[in-house]
Structure 1
Amino acid sequence: MAKASSDPNEMSFLDHLEELRWHLIRSTIAIVLIGLVAFVMKDFIFDTVIFGPKKPDFPTYGVFCKLSKLLGFSEAFCSNEPIFTVQSRQMAEQFSAHIWTSIWAGFIIGFPYILYEMWKFISPGLYDKERNNSRGFIFIASSLFFMGVLFGYYVVAPLSINFLGGYSVSDEIVREIDLSSYISTVRAAVIACGLIFELPIIIFFLTKVGLVTPEILRKYRKIALVIVLIISAVITPPDVASQIIVAVPVLILYQISIYISKVVIRREAKKQNKNVKSS
């Protein structure tokens, strides 16, 4: 995929490192600037976004409540009372949470620009045809990431918060969750799902470099199914409905990845045939 160029003006390894450094610096500046906006919008970020999934009137709980009643499962999502309170027990905990939450907000919102900077660094090493065929990379990768973020926020985070926040081993225990623990649960669900939804893009590039084929993906599909179900069981409440809700989108992404890998292999085969005929 990299160009083998004999151009005497071609950049050296150190020049590439310098170029990469500036791309990283610009990405960091973008994250910081967006993070500053998020820092100022403290009330919206925390009261509406971060603490949204713990409120009984969060829209996801209404949907889950109706589904639970329809399917005859537990009606744990139908509660009208908060299942726990969030507390801060360390002097600098709230300030630290404010700063880091703003930085992560900067990363999530600035993700398309980060991809753009990565693409500017990689694209000079591609052939013109490869560059043209990858024009939609930033849009597709960003769309998948934001779809994963929304899925994590509206599905995985509420499922995890509802189960873990309401789980009890004894009535003697008061449910008072530390602020850092609560935020890390929401953050992990959102970021993890955002990255998991990049699976088709990852498979595309792994197929391009010859590390993955459709046959390999089909061969290990059952193993992938088991892994997905295990992950679903870990991050969701221990009931079949919740696990299916999380597992199905990931399995769909896996199937889409097989199709993408198949298309890439087919295109590479056509390209090789054309090269053979022309020679």
Structure 2
Amino acid sequence: MSRIDDLPPLRDVIAAHGLRAKKSMGQNFLLDLNLTSRIARASGPLAGASVLEVGPGPGGLTRGLLAEGARRVLAVEKDERCLPALAEIAAAYPGRLEVLSGDALDVDVTARLDRPWRVVANLPYNIGTELLVRWLTPRDWPPAWESLTLMFQKEVAERIVAAPGSKAYGRLAVLAQWRSEVRIVLTLPPEAFAPPPKVASAVIHLTALPEPRFPADADVLERMVAKGFNQRRKMLRAALKGLAPDIEDRLRAAGLDPTERAEQVPIEGWCALARTLG
């Protein structure tokens, strides 16, 4: 592990502050500063950038972002045990790190960051999917963020980049690919973390498109896709029957076969159906 700044190695920081990862908070700490710097670089050149980080923990990725040149990092941390370690990083990078103590699901960061900002985070497993859906479904587009560089369990990352017709294709793929370019940029083994999770992890990078690929109301699309894939083994006419009494007619109007299943419908088809329901 090479040094990226004058602060102590992360293992020493964790030991000094008694930061044992909590399963209840979805915590798995990434200790290798080489890897945290690689994740930071995967978000693109950071000079002059404003970055939101969710769940910094002891600050490994935070240090990577700052060392790679981020002008400002806003870190939201729910675990108060981590705040002293993050304060040490703030002192080492004067004026460039602000730490908010709170739950990322409840904190409004829009007024605290210069637009457009980036999100770079090793997301806590227990809130990662919900945060992603929130970032992907604001009413107004383009969003306040320009890119998302996020770590998930590898299986979740593969669902986000999946193509229609595959078993991994579902709600996350539709919502992510409707409004952004998305790709997997890094895969990490369990032993890169402390404690090691039971599965591999992967980092995805999403770049916001200027306009969605196809017109649709975000709320209607999200609700409809969630319902369709919640019963993915059923035909569309059965899985979506609660959305409208004439759902078969609406499916046909959107150019869809009512006997198809959700995983067979491309993004364009979902958007066409959303327009008949909007």
TM-score range, shorter chain: under 0.3
Q: Which of the two has greater strand per residue? A: 2
Q: Which has the higher contact order (CA 8 A, sep 6+)?
A: 1
- For normalisation by structure 1, the TM-score amounts to 0.22
Q: TM-score, normalised by structure 2?
A: 0.22
Which structure has the bigger radius of gyration? 1
